């Protein structure tokens, strides 16, 4: 057999790596203990592998080692069981030599100029490169532009004198976490894997196959990187479309949610997407711009993708316009009005604040002179964020509290909210999520 059909026959290092994985003796290193890294660490631990987690947040490290969950939808009992077993979290990156598999799950945000910021990846590679050893596999899971694995990571590894595909294995396998979605978990979501060589792909397939139900191999790391971008751009474009449709329907005095419900009865050719106050989460608002940036290197313009981005970016301001109009209809000014933002996480029933459109709505309101507070059972204190600042704690949505505001804006439709109580006591409701479907004099649909 040639290397393409049986790479283990020409790579003793690959054969050894596969043997360690198959024997449950491979140690797994997870770099970045957040919404992606923690579920991955849990899964590898649950199927019998020792896990060493790396992070720069000392408080998070201490909490995980004490068995505490830092993420709402991950049960504390699962973290406690992991901490009591073969798991340890550390900030000591020199220990990277202790593991066989290195999985990088660090953020890839955008800069202020909407360009890719790979500083977390680069700094991680700088921290671990001196301690890499032969026989290891390094997998990047962070979303990024096609070519990152080869152009950014590979030089670090080869600079140590390793030959990729022979004595070191490099793969890209994009994360596909959907925080708070009970229908899909780390092990049930198929895992795309692309290798820098055929041997690398085999190593990656073997590693992930022990933790997930289905592995989907692709021909290269670039193909895997573009797969992730296509998935997220697909959502961003369709959400941009339905947000634009919402604006049109609003002008025509048509309920867009009624239209979507009717359209989705078609058993083919239509997938329902729902509008909101904008786009949130770490992936959907950011990832399309990784491709638009990379496309410029090839002299291409991504008109369709960028247009969807503009529509989604402008939604918070459109929502604020609806608040202004609703207050004006009640002979009130936005300036000085007390506004309650109902739900500020980026999606229902999670505590994830990354790129939450609710924050942009709150900022627009504050900048125009409104007195803004929020209520979110999953976010008791407004977190420290890189580009946003509110010194606020969550307000309990009691009848008296609801009645004290000039307007309540439904920004994130958490299941814990009592919507009947909100309708009864709030003097004005601006609904961006379609929670109040029946016409009501208190409700303005946005």
Return the active site residues.
283
Torsion of CA 310, 313, 315, 320, to 10 degrees: -130
**What span, in angstroms and rounded, lies between the C-alpha atoms of 394 and 364?**
19
Note whether 21 and 165 are within 8 A (CB). Answer: no
**What span, in angstroms and rounded, lies between the C-alpha atoms of 126 and 120?**
10
Residue 269's Cβ-side half-sphere holds a number of Cα atoms within 13 Å equal to 2
**What span, in angstroms and rounded, lies between the C-alpha atoms of 155 and 127?**
14
Beta-bridged to residue 169, according to DSSP, are: 137
Q: Could you give the residue ranges of the DSSP H alpha helices within 58-141? A: 58-65, 76-83, 119-128
DSSP letter at 272 equals -
Q: What are phi and psi of 373, to 5 degrees?
A: -130, 175
Question: Phi/psi class of residue 412: alpha, beta or left (left: φ > 0; alpha: ψ in -120 to 50)?
Answer: beta
């Amino acid at each position: 057999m040639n290397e393409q059909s049986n790479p283990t026959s020409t790579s003793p290092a690959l054969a050894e790596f596969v043997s360690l994985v198959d024997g449950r003796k491979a140690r797994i290193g997870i770099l970045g203990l957040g919404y992606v890294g923690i579920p991955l660490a849990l899964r590898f631990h649950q199927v019998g592998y020792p896990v060493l987690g790396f992070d720069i947040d000392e408080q998070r490290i201490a909490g995980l080692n004490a068995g505490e969950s830092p993420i709402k939808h991950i049960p504390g009992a699962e973290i406690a069981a992991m901490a009591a077993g073969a798991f340890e979290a550390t900030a000591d990156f020199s220990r990277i030599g202790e593991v066989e598999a290195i999985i990088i799950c660090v953020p890839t945000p955008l800069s202020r100029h909407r360009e890719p910021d790979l500083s977390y990846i680069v700094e991680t590679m700088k921290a671990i490169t001196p301690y890499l050893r032969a026989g290891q596999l390094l997998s990047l899971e962070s979303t990024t532009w096609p070519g990152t694995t080869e152009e950014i990571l590979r030089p670090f590894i080869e600079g140590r004198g390793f030959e990729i595909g022979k004595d070191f294995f490099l793969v890209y396998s994009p994360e596909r976490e959907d925080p708070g979605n009970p229908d899909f978990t780390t092990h049930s979501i198929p895992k795309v894997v692309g290798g820098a060589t055929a041997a690398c792909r085999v190593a990656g397939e073997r590693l992930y196959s022990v933790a997930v139900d289905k592995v989907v191999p692709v021909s290269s790391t670039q193909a895997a990187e573009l797969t992730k971008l296509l998935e997220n751009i697909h959502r961003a474009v369709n959400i941009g479309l339905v947000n634009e449709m919402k604006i049109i329907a609003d002008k025509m005095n048509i309920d867009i949610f009624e239209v979507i419900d009717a359209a989705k009865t078609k058993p083919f050719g239509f997938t329902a997407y729902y509008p909101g106050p904008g786009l949130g989460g770490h992936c959907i608002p950011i990832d399309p711009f990784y491709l638009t940036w990379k496309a410029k290197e090839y002299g291409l313009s991504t008109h369709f993708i960028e247009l969807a981005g503009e529509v989604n970016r402008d939604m918070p301001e459109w929502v604020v316009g609806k608040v202004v109009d609703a207050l004006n209809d009640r002979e009130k000014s936005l300036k000085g009005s007390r506004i309650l933002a109902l739900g500020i996480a980026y999606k229902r029933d999670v505590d994830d604040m990354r790129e939450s459109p609710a924050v942009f709505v709150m900022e627009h309101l504050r900048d125009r002179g409104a007195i803004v507070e929020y209520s979110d059972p999953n976010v008791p204190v407004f977190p420290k964020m890189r580009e946003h600042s509110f010194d606020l704690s969550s307000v309990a949505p009691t009848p008296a509290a609801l009645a004290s505001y000039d307007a309540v804006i439904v920004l994130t439709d958490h299941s814990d909210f009592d919507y009947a109580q909100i309708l009864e006591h709030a003097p004005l409701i601006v609904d961006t999520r379609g929670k109040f479907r029946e016409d009501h004099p208190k409700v303005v649909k946005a």
